[in-house]
Structure 1
Amino acid sequence: MNFWDRCRNKLKKLNRTENPSPEKEVKVLEKKLEENLIKIKDELGDSSDLVIRYFELGTESPAAAAVVYISGLVDDKKANKFIEESLKVEDPLKEAAYSQKDMFDIVRDRALSINNIVMVSDWNKLLLTILNGETVILLDGYNEAITANTKGGQTREITEPSTQLVIRGPKVAFTESIGTNVALIRRYIKSPNLRVETQQVGSITKTDTALVYIKGTVNEKVLREVKKRLNKIEVEDIIESGNIEEYIQDNAFTPFPTIYNSERPDAVVGNLLEGRIAVIVDGTPFVLVVPALFIQFFQSPSDYYQNYLIGSFLRMLRIISYIISILTPSLYIALTTFHPQMIPTSLLISLAAQHEGVPFPVIVEVLIMEFTFEIIREAGLRMPRAVGQAVSIVGALVLGQAAVQAGIVSPTTIIVVAFTGIASFATPSYNIAVAPRLLRFLMMILAGGFGLYGVFVALFILIAHLTSLRSFGIPYLSPFAPFIPADFKDTIIRRPLWSLDSRPRLVSQQNNKRQARGNKPSPSDNHNGN
């Protein structure tokens, strides 16, 4: 009779004698090795990737031992080294004299010398440890297990960012490994005040989540609120950081993101240094940053790596492009339909000549082309990269030209829609760039029904909505509303780095000072060459 047959017979005998209730939950490990191994196989469904290796230690009174781990979740080299060093027999004659009690102490001491181990006696914790990619050693006669961190397996290497590209700056992006992402942040911030607090979210997925902040700089009130919202999440699955974002954001009924996300370590580090909090989720390269301000989504890491005049110009260009992407189609509809007297006469005559023969009113033209443009853009994103861009460009050119020649739309409408679409791509954050795609249609409908009056009413409602938003208690439009002149140093324009001597007041309400004053370069500091 082999080992597993003896285990099954033992388990059947226990079931006949004890007849345990199916609702009864095992909390503590059993002392019998056979019972523990059978229960592990039963709990994990006897999965094909579950590896159980049986050993016998000693010769005269051998002690039974087993190693358990999940293939694919462990680093094979680490696991094999841990097993070999912990269970190796150095001297058979000496090992023969050891008792079972001595053997457990020997294995534990050997494991301590080669790895950081943890002793586990709780059954649920043991299962979670195995599923986390750790290696477990069980010995017969003990209700404790020796676990070692041997996490590994196939992971994606560090690559360049794919969504937040910069001309000048680090070419490093986060990965799907939470350990790697924390290490990337620590590579920038070598301060003992950097804090990393981990917890697991999701009753089934048990997704590792790390809360990262700088002690002494972070707003303690915001930190308590973030922890409170994370602890209130009671769901079965958390797959991506976007899942957590929906559970902890202040207002779910808004197209504007109130939580910033980035795949760039330098962008996250910059926000941490301002007093914000990062939420890292295992399995995704996108890190959440809270609290988030509206102006923050128009700031790019490259703004701080080049001359402040160039950075300020590019930032203003992004903001203007954002306004264009929201208002241009609705203004075109309102002016051509209700307020032609506001258009120069020569331009109005040209527009009228182009629209002659088009069977649809201007609002229908723009709605058709905007809807078509959104379809082409979405199709280009979902298609393989090799053909996605070609399909987008060719599709837009062919459809636009064909629509004009068929007399369905006028050339000016094509220009307006294309200009609006290009302007929407100038925003560095994808989340904030999605909002105008939704708002444009609402504003076009109001412009087609009420002219400029409808456009201005929509703008008034939009500004009121933005003013009402909060991100973990911080006003979304800060420092514009409320008006804080001291925080205007890094908003629409970026002042020189030597003048950014304070953190945003509402974001970090303690340790507001970032650097000493008087760092401005002066001619007296330069070498005269005499």
Structure 2
Amino acid sequence: MKTREMAFGKSSASAGSENPSVVQGQLESDLEANIKRIRSELGSSPDLIVRQFKLRTGRGLPVAAIYLDTITDKELVNDFVMRSLMSPFLPEVPEESSSPEAAFRYICDNALAVGQIEIIDNWTSMLLELLTGKTILLVNGWNQCVCGNTIGGETRAVSEASTQVVIRGPKDSFSESIATNIALVRRRIRSPKFGFEAIKIGTVTQTSVAMLYIDGIVKEDIKNEVRKRLNKINTDAILESGYIEEFIEDNWNSPFPTVFNTERPDAIAANLLEGRIAILVDGTPFALVVPTVLSQFFTAAEDYYQRYDIGSFIRLLRYMAFIISLFGPAVYIALTTFHQEMLPTTLLINLSGAREGVPFPALVEAFAMEISFEILREAGIRMPRAVGQAVSIVGALVLGEAAVQAGIVSPIMVIVVAITAIANFSIPAYNLAITARMLRFLFMIAAGILGFYGMMLGMIMLVAHMNSLRSFGVSFFSPLVPLKFKQMKDVFVRLPHWSIRERPDDTAVDKVRVGPGQKPQ
């Protein structure tokens, strides 16, 4: 693995001078002055622990261990820091090494059992490490401190994915700890070429962000472009990966997402193996993947764990569900308002009978039902989990039945809205499903004004817009635009693994995925 610290301009720790809450300057030699300044900078925070003791030297050199109780592993502090320094079995510092500098070197080389330490000599870095959850050791008479990795605190354990559930496949998902998330990806990619660059973004939050990739597979220009866009971020806070997404996306005014997000480590590993870059943000279980193409949003991790024929069938169903979700109500409005001659006579008579007595045109009827269902869906999500699902289901049934009985809407409209909603739930990517829900209203308006002609005009504009989208230099329609037959083995259908021999040439340098002669005989 390759771990690198990136120079992040105004958003990095080195740019703290623009934030008055971040202090610069060298540490002082006087221990009490340093402790007093730390207390002052942290506002005498109740969880700030300052443990002072004397090192076993001829003159008892004062030493202080400083950490934040709420974000530190207290057992690690006690066992590998405090107990190591205060153990009666620890040899005394030699008399010739009893000066503050020699004692400091002795602590670094012989007295600390913690795995990772770092020597710091400035206030900016020291305060950032302290606020991260590390333990700081200060020696009286020396203007440097040693920082031990004791990050801890309460975090959510690795659990099953809640938004991208699979029947067959790994059940683990990302948590809010970036270290845990990197470990989950590392377990799947045991290669020395796997690397990540760790950075901090946000002048106030100083959020840890990691950019993951595989050297030798990812294109250097894509890696440089991602690094460049992250470099430009200058904000006070990054609280979730959605913040990063809005700063780095190509088309901020498009309803279509050009950055893919997932909470599954296996999905991240699969995208890294195709030459893409993953961005992990501390404090959220959702990781970002760039560059992004449209076909990624119709792909589920389970497609690659089931047989290729099953995966292909389910994927085609998702594409069909997206079309129904986008155009379902609009087609009904166009047929009943402008193009009745396209319906069989028997069906037309049934539709006319069902709509008899409905006082509103089909467009108003569809808008009322769609908005009502969207409100019910949002209410079911935001309400407590114990009652949310029951309220949404009962509300939909009662509201639909009451509306039909009152003669406000027709039974056919209730069926159309229900089928559209179910189709929308079949889309694996939640953000693309929301896009379909928003665009659905525009197509309903176009169908209510011009019928199928309005729908066709809207489709032409939609396809033209999607064709203009780029994600870090890669066409959003790739490999359809530009057309690449060899790379269409995993777009609408998923062919067997042994037949998908090449990686996408838009993102990967090393295009060989599967060696020759792998077809079963």
Shorter-chain TM band: over 0.9
Matches within 5 A, 1:85-100: 85-88=83-86, 90=88, 94=92, 97=95, 99-100=98-99
CA contact (8 A) 2:22 2:124 kept: no
Partner of 1:122: 122
Partner of 1:352: 352
* C-alpha deviation, 1:42, in angstroms: 0.6
Partner of 1:518: 517
Question: How has the CA–CA distance of structure 1 residues 92 and 240 changed in structure 2, closer, same or farther, with 3 Å as cutoff?
Answer: closer
Classify the secondary structure of the residue corresponding to 2:70.
Answer: coil
Partner of 1:55: 53
Deviates more, 1:54-63 or 1:196-205: 54-63
Cα separation, 2, equivalents of 1:255 and 1:82: 52
Partner of 2:7: none
Residue identity matched to 1:62: G
* C-alpha deviation, 1:112, in angstroms: 5.0
Residue identity matched to 1:521: P
Deviations 1:154-193 (A, max 9, x none): 1100000000011100001000000000000010000000
Classify the secondary structure of the residue corresponding to 1:29.
Answer: coil
Deviations 1:193-217 (A, max 9, x none): 0011100000000000000000000
Deviates more, 1:379-388 or 1:285-294: 379-388
- Unaligned runs of 5+ residues in structure 1 are 1-21, 523-530
* C-alpha deviation, 1:64, in angstroms: 1.1
Question: How has the CA–CA distance of structure 1 residues 368 and 92 changed in structure 2, closer, same or farther, with 3 Å as cutoff?
Answer: closer
* C-alpha deviation, 1:458, in angstroms: 0.5
Classify the secondary structure of the residue corresponding to 1:507.
Answer: coil
Deviations 1:380-415 (A, max 9, x none): 111122211111111110000000000000000001
Cα separation, 1, equivalents of 2:451 and 2:58: 96
Matches within 5 A, 1:114-263: 114-263=114-263
Partner of 1:528: none
Matches within 5 A, 1:71-82: 71-82=69-80
Task: State the number of aligned residues.
Answer: 500
CA contact (8 A) 1:85 1:111 kept: no
* C-alpha deviation, 1:104, in angstroms: 2.3
Question: How has the CA–CA distance of structure 1 residues 52 and 462 changed in structure 2, closer, same or farther, with 3 Å as cutoff?
Answer: same
Partner of 2:399: 399
Instruction: Calculate the aligned-residue CA RMSD, in Å.
Output: 1.7
Deviations 1:66-110 (A, max 9, x none): 110001111111111233344225379956946233432322223
Partner of 2:13: none
CA contact (8 A) 1:61 1:96 kept: no
Question: How has the CA–CA distance of structure 1 residues 62 and 44 changed in structure 2, closer, same or farther, with 3 Å as cutoff?
Answer: same
Cα separation, 1, equivalents of 2:84 and 2:91: 18
Cα separation, 2, equivalents of 1:42 and 1:153: 24
Residue identity matched to 1:47: S
CA contact (8 A) 2:81 2:112 kept: no
Cα separation, 1, equivalents of 2:199 and 2:35: 28
Question: How has the CA–CA distance of structure 1 residues 196 and 333 changed in structure 2, closer, same or farther, with 3 Å as cutoff?
Answer: same
Residue identity matched to 1:323: I
Cα separation, 2, equivalents of 1:379 and 1:93: 65
Classify the secondary structure of the residue corresponding to 2:394.
Answer: helix
Partner of 1:37: 35
CA contact (8 A) 2:178 2:281 kept: yes
CA contact (8 A) 2:114 2:149 kept: no
CA contact (8 A) 2:85 2:112 kept: no
Partner of 1:367: 367
Classify the secondary structure of the residue corresponding to 1:47.
Answer: coil
Matches within 5 A, 1:200-349: 200-349=200-349
Residue identity matched to 2:350: S
Partner of 1:17: none
Cα separation, 2, equivalents of 1:350 and 1:91: 92
Cα separation, 2, equivalents of 1:116 and 1:318: 48
Partner of 1:496: 496
Partner of 2:464: 464
Question: How has the CA–CA distance of structure 1 residues 91 and 292 changed in structure 2, closer, same or farther, with 3 Å as cutoff?
Answer: closer
Classify the secondary structure of the residue corresponding to 2:212.
Answer: strand
* C-alpha deviation, 1:257, in angstroms: 0.7
- Aligned: 1:83 with 2:91: no
CA contact (8 A) 2:293 2:477 kept: yes
Question: How has the CA–CA distance of structure 1 residues 143 and 410 changed in structure 2, closer, same or farther, with 3 Å as cutoff?
Answer: same
Cα separation, 1, equivalents of 2:348 and 2:47: 72
- Unaligned runs of 5+ residues in structure 2 are 1-19
